[in-house]
Amino acid sequence: MLDISILKTVDNVKGVMDRRIFSDPDIYKQELEQVFGRCWLFLGHESQVPKPNDFIAGYMGEDPILLTRDSKGKLHSFLNMCRHRGNRICRADAGNAPSFMCTYHGWTFSTDGKLVGVPGYKEAYFEELDRSQWGLVEAGQIGSYKGLVFATWDKQAPKVDDYLSNMAWYLDLLLDRREGGTEVLGISKWMLKSNWKFPADNFGADGYHGPITHGSVAMLGYKGQPPRNPYARNSDNLAVTAANGHIVVGFSTTEVEMRRRYQNFPPNIQDYFVSTSPELEKRLGDTRAGRGTIPTSTVFPNMSTHTRAQLRMYHPRGPELTEMWIYCIVDKKAPQDIKMALKAHLAQTFGPSGGLEVDDMNNWVQCTDSGHYTIGKRYPMNQQMGLGHMSSTEKFPGKVAQSHTELNDREFYGWWAELMAAPSWNEVRLDPKDTRFVK
């Protein structure tokens, strides 16, 4: 049993949080059950499994899974676990195969999860093993949103559209810019001695750290003009809690701000985004067209998007360890040289050796450590920025406030605490989709 009440760990009235939520092993175990065990989790992109019998390996929480497209074209998410002793049935990261044979004793499963082969079925099992009961363990629900595949273990979870709610409106700025949608190119993976919530929160809420954390990269000649006063309150830079713990940071509302952000890209990439903005406007309408940058955001709990063409995943590996994954994501219709330029730009800025990522990682590791230090853990974390000064706008879906603020941090952890305390989805409040913004 926990020695602290989960709901008391996040105090959004005072704007303080108990830092043990980043280190405590019991809280972590409860997180695996109540957050990763029942939320919709991002598994991968449909472009990774385009053909029948394609598969990729991944994780849902700590559990290894396989995302497969069966021989009839249907998507599935299965535990990568043989039903005999529990060996993994597949050790490859990706591929195409009509079936998976366990390398321990040879039980074999088809891409739709059926147990189709048992060595010694006649002789050793007397044909009595009920093979229909020993297929792969399948996720409770699977669903897609414009190429992104999600699944949840919980059959009672809300439908994926209701779970994403208003967040879909913001994700369209990444996924629906051009006809044909998007595809992912390559992946970087590495281990980080941080709790998974630090990067999740950082990419959906923390615009505040940029000028200081990334100051050295700017000094090294990193392109892009910082605003004159990075902390000024202005309506060009918004924090949005879209719904259900999904958060967007630095959402820009003007073309001037959008163009300032494009300065961070090499000229050929800037030209590509500018030249394709009329198509974007046609597809998404003028409310979003002038704000054409890809959003920097977190889809609760552990997937982020970022302006620099990336999809990020934070797989928990312990309270103080995270397996970080980053995909480069591009418009399918983009010219090949632009795709390669975006991929190269991403590798220079984010990922295990990206200039911006290395700045960030060191902070998250040290903040995680403070959650287990004997004296340090007694003192709460501060999230008071902008408390009581919510300046909302009705122009966009969700709760919208001018940056800089810690509104998104408070909302992210508030939703986390609610899920951690709720016995089932019946007790969780869901933020409905704002129907004024349905396309």
Q: Rule CB under 6 A: which residues touch ligand FES?
A: 82, 84-85, 87, 102, 104-107
| Cβ closest to Fe ion, residue 360 vs residue 431 | 360
| Cβ closest to ligand FES, residue 82 vs residue 192 | 82
| Cβ closest to ligand FES, residue 85 vs residue 209 | 85
| Cβ closest to ligand FES, residue 88 vs residue 259 | 88
Q: Give the span between the Cα atoms of 419 and 18, in whole angstroms.
A: 16
- 414: closest CA among 428, 433, 403, 396? 428
Return the residue matching tokens 């090499």. Answer: 266
The site partner of 377 among Fe ion, ligand FES, none (C-beta below 5 to 8 Å per kind) is none
The least CB distance from residue 136 to ligand FES, in Å, is: 11
| Cβ closest to ligand FES, residue 119 vs residue 318 | 119
The site partner of 278 among Fe ion, ligand FES, none (C-beta below 5 to 8 Å per kind) is none
Beta bridge partners of 382: 16
**String of contacts with Fe ion for each residue 350-389, x by CB under 5 A:** ----------x-----------------------------
DSSP result, 136-190: --B-SEEEEETTEEEEES-TTSPPHHHHHTTHHHHHHHHHSSSTT-EEEEEEEEE
Beta bridge partners of 101: 108
Q: Give the span between the Cα atoms of 431 and 242, in whole angstroms.
A: 9
The site partner of 303 among Fe ion, ligand FES, none (C-beta below 5 to 8 Å per kind) is none
Which residue number is nearest to Fe ion in terms of Cβ? Answer: 360
**At CA 325, angle to CA 257 and CA 19, rounded to 5?**
80
The least CB distance from residue 102 to ligand FES, in Å, is: 3
Q: Tokens for 327, please give them.
A: 């995909």
The site partner of 360 among ligand FES, Fe ion, none (C-beta below 5 to 8 Å per kind) is Fe ion
The least CB distance from residue 88 to ligand FES, in Å, is: 9
| Cβ closest to Fe ion, residue 243 vs residue 249 | 249
The least CB distance from residue 20 to Fe ion, in Å, is: 24
| Cβ closest to ligand FES, residue 14 vs residue 105 | 105
The least CB distance from residue 211 to Fe ion, in Å, is: 10
Q: Give the span between the Cα atoms of 167 and 43, in whole angstroms.
A: 17
The least CB distance from residue 101 to ligand FES, in Å, is: 8
Q: Are 99 and 92 in contact (CB under 8 A)?
A: no
The site partner of 70 among Fe ion, ligand FES, none (C-beta below 5 to 8 Å per kind) is none
The least CB distance from residue 408 to Fe ion, in Å, is: 15
The site partner of 260 among ligand FES, Fe ion, none (C-beta below 5 to 8 Å per kind) is none
The site partner of 105 among ligand FES, Fe ion, none (C-beta below 5 to 8 Å per kind) is ligand FES
The least CB distance from residue 194 to Fe ion, in Å, is: 13
Q: Tokens for 242, please give them.
A: 């879209």
The least CB distance from residue 86 to ligand FES, in Å, is: 6
- 55: closest CA among 166, 136, 160? 136
Length of the chain in residues, anyone?
439
The site partner of 407 among Fe ion, ligand FES, none (C-beta below 5 to 8 Å per kind) is none
The site partner of 215 among Fe ion, ligand FES, none (C-beta below 5 to 8 Å per kind) is none
How many helices and strands in the chain, by DSSP H and E?
A: 13, 21
Q: Are 289 and 279 in contact (CB under 8 A)?
A: no
The least CB distance from residue 132 to ligand FES, in Å, is: 17
Strands (E), 234-361: 238-243, 246-251, 296-299, 303-306, 310-316, 322-331
Neighbours of 278 (CB within 10 A): 10
* Residue environment code for 330-345, b if the CB has 16+ CB neighbours within 10 A, otherwise e: bbeebeeebbebbbeb
* Residue environment code for 305-316, b if the CB has 16+ CB neighbours within 10 A, otherwise e: bbbbbbbbbbbb
Q: Are 43 and 65 in contact (CB under 8 A)?
A: yes
The least CB distance from residue 44 to ligand FES, in Å, is: 24
The site partner of 107 among Fe ion, ligand FES, none (C-beta below 5 to 8 Å per kind) is ligand FES
Report if residue 24 touches Fe ion, rule: CB under 5 A. no
| Cβ closest to ligand FES, residue 106 vs residue 224 | 106
| Cβ closest to ligand FES, residue 72 vs residue 122 | 122
The backbone region for 12, taken as left when phi is positive above 0, alpha when psi lies in -120 to 50, beta otherwise, is alpha
| Cβ closest to Fe ion, residue 46 vs residue 360 | 360
| Cβ closest to Fe ion, residue 360 vs residue 418 | 360
Question: Could you list the residues that contact Fe ion (CB under 5 A)?
Answer: 360
